Amino acid sequence: MKSAIVIRHVHFEDLGAFAAVLDHGGYRIRYLDVGQDPVSADDAAAADLLVVLGGPIGAYEDDHYPFLVDELTAIGRRLAAGRPILGVCLGAQLIARALGARVYPGPAKEIGWAPLQLSAAGRRGPLASLEAVPVLHWHGDTFDLPAGAVRLASTPVTPNQAFSFGDRVLALQFHPEADGAGFERWLIGHAGEIASTPGITVGGLRDQAALCAARAGAAGRLCLAAWLEALDASA
């Protein structure tokens, strides 16, 4: 059985819709909960897949959150070895930083469900299933496109919503793993941010999820399955 180490920063931002795809693909999933479990670069390097999930901190805040140094070390080692990495939100930002790109506050927060604009490369690859599908966005930071990376998706606020680096690294600023299951936990966990963000309300996000989440989750599962299939083909 293949192994997947999943770095989780807050408990409610888990694999979501992605868990079933990894299970079906024959991966044994092991979560590392930051702040509780040490992030070992050796363990992360040995896994068949490393997944780095989201969280409400900045990828550049290692002065406040020293564990980010361990995560960046683990990501850097896998990049150097050409081993598969999937990053979601904060995970994508950490991959960008490990590749030498700048991560910084964006011009505005994106919170809610909205479609992506896929690049030509995005439409040719695993993200094709996400075309015209409203997906969950929940971020205030953004990043420059790393040297050698290929932009896969954008939004009007965030030009770099997704990129690939070679055929074994996929970084997603948005949340294609969010399928509505457990979304109430997001509303609780991010209550402070929701209350302080103009134009965003708990009720509005809940209503959006009811309309969009199931379709987004189905498209997200197809996206991950296609990427894993490409990984297997290139192994």
Round to whole Å and give the CA distance between 53 and 29.
13
Residue 110, pLDDT > 90, answer yes
CATH numeric code, 2-234: 3.40.50.880
Cβ contact 172:124 at 8 Å: no
Write down the pLDDT at residue 232. Answer: 87
Residue 235 pLDDT > 80, yes or no? Answer: no
With pLDDT > 70 as the criterion, what percentage of the chain qualifies? Answer: 100
By annotation, the residues acting in catalysis are 89, 175, 177
Mean pLDDT of 120-127: 97
Per-residue pLDDT tens digits for 16-42 = 999 999 999 999 999 999 999 999 888
Rg of the chain (C-alpha set): 16
Region 140-151: what's the mean pLDDT?
A: 98
CA angle, 30 then 31 then 34, to 5°: 150
Q: What is the pLDDT of residue 48?
A: 96
Per-residue confidence (pLDDT) for residue 132, from 0 to 100? 96
> Who contacts 122 (Cβ-Cβ below 8 Å, separation ≥6)?
116, 128, 151, 152, 153, 162
The pLDDT of residue 45 is 87
| Average pLDDT value for the chain | 96
pLDDT at 56: 96
Question: Structural domain boundaries of the chain?
Answer: 2-234
pLDDT digit string, tens, across residues 154-176: 999 999 999 999 999 999 999 99
Residue of higher predicted confidence among 43 and 63: 63
- Whether residue 99 contacts residue 165, with contact meaning beta carbons closer than 8 Å, is answered with yes
> For 179-232, how does the pLDDT look when each residue is reduced to its tens digit (9 = 90+)?
999 999 999 999 999 999 999 999 999 999 999 999 999 999 999 999 999 998
* Selection from 79, 74, 28, 34 nearest residue 53 by Cα: 34
How far apart, in Å, are the Cα atoms of 10 and each of 64, 73, 82, 159, 208? 16, 20, 27, 26, 22
Report the C-alpha gap between 70 and 108 in whole angstroms. Answer: 29
3-class secondary structure, 221: helix
Confidence bin at 66 (pLDDT 50/70/90): very high
pLDDT at residue 123 greater than cutoff 90: yes
